[in-house]
Amino acid sequence: MAFMTATTAAEARPEPPPGRTTYRSVFAAGEFRVLFAGMTMYVLGFQFELLGLSVLIFAQTGSAFLTALAFSMGFAPQAVGGALFTALADRLPSRLVIGTGLLTRAAPGLVIGLWPALPVPVMLALVAAAAAIAPVFTAAISGLLPEVLDGDRYVLGRSVFNLTGAGSQIAGLGVGGVVLAAVPVRWLLLAAGGALVIAAVITRLGLRRRAARAPQGPARGIVRATVAGNVALFRDRTVRGLLLAQWLPAWLVAGAESLIVPYNGSLGRPASAAAPLLAAMPAGMLLGDLLVGRFCAPGTRTRLAFPLAAAMGVPLLALVFRPPLPLACLALLACGGGFAYQIGIQQAFLDSLPEGQRGQGFGLGATGTMAGQGLTPALAGALAGPLGAAAAMAVAGAATVLAALSLRRPLTPDVRRPPLPSGPAGSPRPPRAPSPPPASRTSPPARARTP
């Protein structure tokens, strides 16, 4: 297979072709095909593992609480790992971190598949431990991507990862359901672990060896370095603005999305009628990323970031009028399409990060996204109690518009800003150099965020 072709250390990155950047030019880079294959199998294996574990625990215990807890164990510990360990993504070679992360993620599926009678607490502990390491793996991939793709190809590469994540999640649950209908659940868990082991082999063979981006420190200092690095990154005005621009609109829309099922029930519709509503927003996200990434020039994507972020909350306002099901689906589809605003700020976020903290910067972004998307549904649910689901979703939409307006400056970034040189975590940032003149569309910007 093409993506398994090994790349030597002396091989240079392919130069981006002239003219408008396309997804074909992104996949022309051999190492990107390796990362794409690894990420796809990671998401599929992760979905197989969570689905299989949930089914197995419910079959053994009959407890809805333990089943839900099993599902949450795949996500909640990631916030802890992202806050404490992501400095490893820059202190260790990317190939080592990515391969180790995939093998660590494979362990729960393989162990539980081989010994399905393990006590439930042991199963949950295995999944939680693997989940805590996952942010280091995803930060390493995000940090490596700019070394694989130059210029606008990097932005489209991030778009491909967004499309892959959403599409693979849907496909993983669908394929996993088919597998469970044909074979015992332990085979689904073994398939999850096997897919991740294969992904580790692919990345080991297909990625060339690179040195770590930051100097290695003592192992006992990783937590301290991660916390200090996160604080230093968030203190920088540009980085902080771009992080909040990625977080706040997404958090608020996630709160509205969590109320889709109660919203459907408040209209007196059967539970089956919620399916198209639940699918509409992810479909809009896929469509928006595809259209903006494929058909908009780099400057256009940057200019669209602010209007898309502000507009994504507007369709939610219509839900307070309880429109017919097709119109409600269109509103959620349009809201999901607005998520394409994030493509327009990816280059600016990358350029704002010191090279030695690039992986940690992307890890901080992913950690904040997960933490906020875990918090806002609870707040939205509390608001829906006195106001009702429709009104609470409209409030979330209005808050999204206001958040975008307050973040107009980072949502209209100057992508010509050069990257900052790296330095020790927590050290003062050097002054920015003057912005160079705009680069032509056929040449990438000179340079010395993600899964």
Write out the H or E segment, with its range, that includes residue 47: helix 30-61
Domain count, the chain: 2
Beta carbons of 299 and 438 less than 8 angstroms apart:
no
Q: Say which range, 18-22, 220-224, 273-277, 300-304, has the weakest mean pLDDT.
A: 18-22
The mean pLDDT value for 104-113 works out to 91
Which residues are within 8 A (CB) of 101 and not within 5 positions of it... i.e. 6 or more apart? 133, 134, 136, 137, 138, 140
Is 155 in the same domain as 257?
no
Residue 18 lies in a domain: no
Given a cut of 60, whether residue 18 has pLDDT beyond it is no
pLDDT for position 332: 93
Q: Say which range, 55-64, 166-175, 208-217, 309-318, has the weakest mean pLDDT.
A: 166-175
Is 243 in the same domain as 174?
no
Write the pLDDT tens digit of every residue in 346-371. 889 988 888 778 888 888 888 888 77
Is 310 in the same domain as 199?
no
Is 172 in the same domain as 258?
no
Residue 445 lies in a domain: no
Residue 7 lies in a domain: no
Q: Say which range, 110-119, 230-239, 365-374, has the weakest mean pLDDT.
A: 365-374
Task: Say how many CA atoms lie within 13 Å of 292 toward its Cβ.
Answer: 33
Domain range spanning residue 184? Answer: 24-208
Which residues are within 8 A (CB) of 350 and not within 5 positions of it... i.e. 6 or more apart? 146, 154, 358, 419, 449
Instruction: Please give the Cα distance from 122 to 112 (Å, whole number).
Output: 9
Beta carbons of 134 and 12 less than 8 angstroms apart:
no
Instruction: Please give the Cα distance from 138 to 148 (Å, whole number).
Output: 15
Write the pLDDT tens digit of every residue in 183-235. 888 898 898 899 899 989 999 998 988 888 766 655 557 788 888 888 889 89
Task: Say how many CA atoms lie within 13 Å of 312 toward its Cβ.
Answer: 30
Residue of higher predicted confidence among 9 and 285: 285
Residue 344 lies in a domain: yes
pLDDT for position 239: 92
Is 362 in the same domain as 293?
yes
Write out the H or E segment, with its range, that includes residue 163: helix 151-182
pLDDT for position 317: 95
Beta carbons of 436 and 414 less than 8 angstroms apart:
no
Residue 399 lies in a domain: yes
Q: What's the mean per-residue pLDDT of the chain? A: 79
Is 191 in the same domain as 52?
yes
Residue of higher predicted confidence among 305 and 414: 305
Residue 410 lies in a domain: yes
Q: Say which range, 124-133, 214-223, 395-404, 433-442, has the weakest mean pLDDT.
A: 433-442
Residue of higher predicted confidence among 425 and 186: 186
Write out the H or E segment, with its range, that includes residue 409: helix 408-411
Is 159 in the same domain as 305?
no
pLDDT grade for 330, boundaries at 50, 70 and 90: very high
The mean pLDDT value for 289-298 works out to 85
Residue 10 lies in a domain: no
Residue 14 lies in a domain: no
Is 238 in the same domain as 177?
no
Is 360 in the same domain as 408?
yes
Is 352 in the same domain as 243?
yes
The CATH number linked to 169 is 1.20.1250.20
Is 337 in the same domain as 392?
yes
Is 50 in the same domain as 179?
yes
